Amino acid sequence: MNSFATLHQAKLETLNLKGNSISSIDKETFKNLPDLLVLDISENNLTFLNKEIFSGLHECEEIFLQKNAIIEICPMTFVDLVSLKELDLTGNKLNELEKKIFPITTQFLSSTVHLKLHNNSFRCLN
């Protein structure tokens, strides 16, 4: 069951889940929030982002993931985020970032304005 399914009718534009000790998010959790523009899941305990976590968030412009403990991001995790303008991954535990994480399309590259990656533990950018 999707715990945000009933919020679809409210046309939710901002969802702030900051600082809730969230350690995992099921795939497609946010799929019933097509009008969501801002998602803040910063300052939680996330360690892994799966491919389907942001499925359906075509209108989302800002995602804040800073100050989690993210060590791994699956390839194509951000593929549905065609309107993304800001992605903040500051202060996680990322030590490498593979190019397959981000879709290399003109639409994605032209819409993403700010990608924040400072205060991680990068050894390699593939």
Chain segment 24-77, per-residue pLDDT in tens = 999 889 988 999 999 999 999 999 999 899 999 999 999 999 999 999 999 888
What tokens were used for 111? 């819409």
Could you give the percent of the chain with pLDDT greater than 70?
80
| Fold of the domain spanning 1-126 | 3.80.10
pLDDT at 1: 40
pTM (predicted TM-score)? 0.86
| 16 Cβ contact partners less than 8 Å away, ≥ 6 residues apart | 38, 40
Domain limits, the chain: 1-126
pLDDT band for position 3 (50/70/90)?
Answer: low
